[in-house]
Structure 1
């Protein structure tokens, strides 16, 4: 086998390994993103419940800041 062919096979093997590693990273980040999205949704629901339970309290979540 020529040196050029050997070099190209090594490069392909290296690239294949890199793609697998990046795929694993993406899969892990996807799981983390899903978990964080669930937490944010839970916090939004809790805050909405808290604001709706407070009698006479102003709901600030949907109001624009005074500088608008």
Structure 2
């Protein structure tokens, strides 16, 4: 139980420090702004969550010089 309380305390402390930095436009705010282009702290956090999600998502395979399938099919 003490371990969970300590972990909760660390998470709350880091969240408070992040909130303070974002409202004071510190180093974290500047990094988030450079990655997302957002100036509002909540939008920056949302943009960073999406940015990190792109790093773990499987990217499409777009190798050059590979023929595209089904080019002779009319889609309409």
Under TM normalisation by the shorter chain, which class is it?
A: 0.3 to 0.5
* Greater RCO, CA 8 A, separation 6+: 2
Asked which structure has the greater CA Rg, the reply is 1
